[in-house]
Amino acid sequence: MLPETVSFCISGAGFYRGTEADSVLRWEKRRSCRSKRSRHGNFSAASQISFNKKVPSENPPGFLSKNAKRNVKTKVIGIDLAGSPANPSGFAVLSGHTFHTRLVHSDQEIVNLCLKEEPTLVAIDAPLSSPARENIRKADTELIKRGLRVFPPTFAGMRLLTKRGIRLAKKLHSRKIWVIEIHPRTSGVILFKTADRTKWVKKIKKMGFCFERDGSKHETDAALAALSGMLHLRKKTEVVGDMRGKIVIPLPQAALPA
């Protein structure tokens, strides 16, 4: 059972409410036809993802942004969310190979920027769900077992951030924007074997990306969130957790030139 604080479904690594049921059913029908033709297993793993009519494992094509539908340059937004709007949040737009970063504050400012940019995906550094009865989500437990340092939603100082993350994700989802939860420090350790932000920037540039400007630590975290989102679109990530909350982390071999 999902926590009461989340009034929408969490599926795969994103959110889905079922407002585009017709699109989902058409997608399922196409997949069914492909499955019949691929009984010998010749299709890629992406075409064999398990599917549930109510809760798809990934957002179906009808849920993508206008950018994706028009087949223009893909944009991914990364957000390093602060627990309070009084503190700055990092905001990064990855368009092509360039990161455009800035600092933002209010939820409405974030939502307005997302609507303006029309991203394919928004990756948020904040818990987007809270545990129902347990003190910690399975997603957090899995990362901790791997030696990765994360702070669960119930930790002191994380409750406000969790509430804000859930609220912001719901606002974006209601506007049909695909949202995933990521953790920049974990992404940095997996991709670059370091938690040093300065080294992240250098290594990201070696991957073929560039930064519009030198930003704050919040903007660097937001940029890594956006990079994680782009890797997710390229199927170079792993999703850990369960239906109570999922975190997207990059695969170690994903740190290749863009």
Give yes or no for residue 101 having a pLDDT over 60: yes
Q: Are the C-beta atoms of 254 and 149 separated by less than 8 Å?
A: no
* Residue labelled with tokens 């036809």: 33
Least confident of 6-10, 94-98, 106-110: 6-10
Closest CA to 143 of 135, 134, 152, 132: 152
Say which DSSP state 182 is in. Answer: B
pLDDT at site 230: 95
CA distance 35 to 17: 26
Tens of pLDDT, residue by residue over 24-57, are 344 444 544 444 444 334 333 333 222 232 333 3
Say which DSSP state 167 is in. Answer: H
Per the DSSP assignment, residues forming a β-bridge with 92 are: 78, 101
pTM of the model: 0.72
Tens of pLDDT, residue by residue over 166-190, are 999 999 999 999 999 999 999 999 9
| Ordered domains of the chain (ranges, CATH) | 12-63 (no CATH), 64-254 (3.30.420.10)
Radius of gyration of the chain measured on its C-alpha atoms: 18
Tens of pLDDT, residue by residue over 115-168, are 999 999 999 999 999 887 667 899 988 998 998 888 878 777 788 999 999 999
Say which DSSP state 43 is in. Answer: S
* Residue labelled with tokens 């369960």: 242
